[in-house]
Amino acid sequence: MEYSITIYFLLFMILACSGWIMEMILQVVQRHKIVNRGFLIGPYCPIYGFGGLFITLFLTQFKEHPILLFFMAVMVCGILEYLTSYFMEKIFHARWWDYSTKKFNLHGRICLGTVIPFGMM
């Protein structure tokens, strides 16, 4: 099904804001304090919006095959997270996340413990 640009924009904003809220809650639970996890001004993390858009645009055709859809979503999210980390580090000379202490990580940019939940979402 094809949607209008307005629907895609709204989907992007809803997912970007939802991702920011999820990150804020996670930080409160882990660190017992509020930490703004976004790199922009405002309550949104664009990586969640782009991830949701990519999955909607490219993987909707696999909705009849949930296992294949899951693995493809893990791949899309993993590639997006890795490339985002890489380019943000090159452009801004900062690292917004580092999984180098986690098991099954790739250059500290992604790890199995994050891409699997992203694939499930």
Q: How far apart are the first and last CA of the chain?
A: 20
pLDDT confidence of residue 1: 60
Instruction: Kindly report, residue by residue over 86-101, the tens digit of the pLDDT.
Output: 999 999 998 989 999 9
Could you tell me the pLDDT band of residue 36, with boundaries at 50, 70 and 90?
confident
